[in-house]
Amino acid sequence: HSFAAQTWELEVMPPFPQPHLTWAEHGSRFLAAVENGPLSATQFHPEKSGEAGIQLLRNWISTL
């Protein structure tokens, strides 16, 4: 067996602004979504969250 490590040059980016956090409550409080610069993450399925979830996806797609 052999192993070869590929190397690439990394581009240094300026730090992202403070993340936008969205909290929800379902039995207890939890972090439901995070936006930080170009990164977005959710702790739920927006496509299964009715019209509000669809609008969230539309908003996200419009940033691409």
Residue 10 DSSP class: P
Kindly report whether the global pTM for this prediction surpasses the value 0.85. no
Q: What is the mean pLDDT of residues 17-41?
A: 91
Report pLDDT for 36: 87
Instruction: Give percent of the chain with pLDDT exceeding 90.
Output: 45
Q: What is the mean pLDDT of residues 26-53?
A: 91
Side chain identity at 62, as an amino acid letter?
S
Q: How many other CB atoms sit within 10 Å of the CB of residue 34?
A: 14
Domain ranges of the chain: 20-61
